[in-house]
């Protein structure tokens, strides 16, 4: 007797199916039949999207702190050291 391998779905596919469930234009069973998945999976993916939707808008807005490598003084200093290394070497 052969063992069946478990299906794995990509995140984009899960999002597509889950969003269709959130829209509510079709029933869960219709969506599951269209995409060839179990209706429980459609419900789980829909629930995950609804629960994690607020995370999309989390985070602070505004200016991001400049990194050290974008500081002009640091860059000129680095250029000077490289020129000295070439001149000496």
DSSP-derived 3-state class of residue 87: helix
What tokens appear for 30 in the block?
Answer: 């219709």
**Mean pLDDT computed over every residue of the chain:** 87
Write down the domain spans for the chain. Answer: 9-55
- Asked whether the whole model's pTM tops 0.75, one would answer no
Q: pLDDT tens for residues 51-83?
A: 998 888 887 776 766 666 677 888 888 888 888
CB 15 within 8 A of CB 49: yes
7-12-18 Cα angle (round to 5): 85
């Amino acid at each position: 007797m052969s063992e069946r391998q478990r299906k794995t779905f990509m995140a984009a596919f899960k999002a597509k199916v889950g969003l269709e469930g959130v829209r509510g234009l079709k029933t869960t069973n219709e969506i599951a039949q269209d995409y060839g998945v179990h209706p429980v999976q459609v419900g789980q993916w829909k629930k995950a999207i609804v629960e994690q939707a607020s995370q999309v808008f989390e985070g602070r807005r505004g200016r991001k702190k400049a990194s050290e490598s974008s500081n002009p003084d640091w860059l000129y200093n680095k250029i000077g050291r490289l020129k000295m290394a070439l001149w000496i070497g």
